[in-house]
Amino acid sequence: MPTVIETADRFRGQLARLETSATSDLLTAYRGVTNRLEDKITVLMARFEQLESSGRLTPENVRKLATWGSLLNQIEDEITKYGGYVDTQNRVAAQKSIDLAGKHSKLLTATYFNDNPNLLKAFNATWDRLPNESVENLLGFLQSDSQLSLNLNQALGQSAAQNFSNKLIEGIALGYNPRKINSLINQSLSEPLTWSLNTVRTTQNYAYRESTRANYLNNSEILGGWKWYAALDGRVCLSCVNQHGREFPLNARLNDHHQGRCTQIPLLDKPERFGLQPPEIELGEQWFNKLPRNEQRQRMGEAKHKAYLAGAFRFDELSEQYQNDTFGEMLKEASLVSILGERARRYYST
């Protein structure tokens, strides 16, 4: 029978496949946005080249172009429509995550009893899964009147058009040639997509974790807490490594960073009453300290690793809180400067 850790790894993979499906839909939709803007951008670039050849490529002359105003209006309109689509897809993705977590939280806890049919039967009769709608109501940012929904349906398009205008006007004022301006166009138009992908991935993972925690909390007669479980691979940040293996009460939120992939391992309340032991998860700091020095350096960076070996900071200082309007308090990897302040300078010297 698979262990609770092995099961958690498999479930993480299932959530990742949901995420891939959701982001694939957004990429397809955004490709349509950029395709519809392509003709106006081509015309605008031709006008820029004409203005440059006559020495009149200035912000003032650009603002007078009918093509300029028309393109800005279309950018706002297209990305506003895209934002509405993202809002819908965001809720659908979160609902799928909530449903998956509702199933996974029970199956994950059940792994403790898989070797004892009588205990498993009693567990299945006792476990009380929360309705998906109850979890959705707990997550205020999924409501149609939330700030996130307003940002997607209104502010995203306005912000995209304004950002596009600001970047290009600044580039023209700095004397950029049309080729470099075209690079600014591509960069500017990629930002709404990047933001939306980040938002949907974060929402999906956050909804999964909060649904998991809500179901754990709803079964507090069985569970007494949870352990932070990170994916200790090449993508994991040092904040997540720092949290890995730590134990938390049921009412504590796993406040991972944007797009964080960490999850919660359920802990039985008084496992000895079932003749069981809690799962052994090596603390992240211990795991890191066992890595070869060159891998530690690669994960930390030269300066941070040098400071760590010198004892300039503790491993548990690698998690730094930050506040997000949608998701509340979150944790990210602290930079060396944020940990040491001015003292960080000495570790950047060669």
Tell me what pLDDT residue 195 has.
Answer: 93
Residue ending a domain, choose from 169, 199, 219: 219
Q: Are residues 322 and 346 in the same domain?
A: yes
Distance of CA 204 to the CA centre of its chain: 8
Tell me what pLDDT residue 350 has.
Answer: 55
Return the C-alpha torsion angle 220, 259, 257, 334, nearest 10: 140
Residue ending a domain, choose from 186, 219, 252: 219
The number of folded domains in the chain is 2
Q: Are residues 184 and 275 in the same domain?
A: no
Per-position pLDDT tens, the chain of length 350: 789 999 999 999 999 998 899 899 999 999 999 999 999 999 999 999 999 999 999 999 999 999 999 999 999 999 999 999 999 999 999 999 999 999 999 999 999 999 899 999 999 999 999 999 999 888 888 887 888 888 888 889 999 999 999 999 999 999 998 889 989 999 999 999 999 999 999 999 999 999 999 999 999 999 999 999 999 999 999 999 999 999 999 999 999 999 999 999 999 999 988 888 888 899 999 999 999 999 999 999 999 999 999 999 999 999 999 999 889 999 999 999 999 999 999 998 75
Q: Are residues 205 and 299 in the same domain?
A: no
Cα separation, 12 vs 205, in Å, equals 10
Q: Are residues 201 and 105 in the same domain?
A: yes
pTM: 0.91
Angle, to 10 degrees, between the axis of helix 4-53 and the axis of helix 66-110? 170
Tell me what pLDDT residue 49 has.
Answer: 92
Q: Are residues 214 and 249 in the same domain?
A: no
- What are the structure tokens assigned to 287, written together? 């795991």
Range of 345's domain?
227-350
Q: Are residues 64 and 213 in the same domain?
A: yes
Q: Strand 328-333 vs strand 319-324: parallel, antiparallel, or unpaired? A: antiparallel
Q: Are residues 276 and 237 in the same domain?
A: yes
Q: Are residues 215 and 250 in the same domain?
A: no
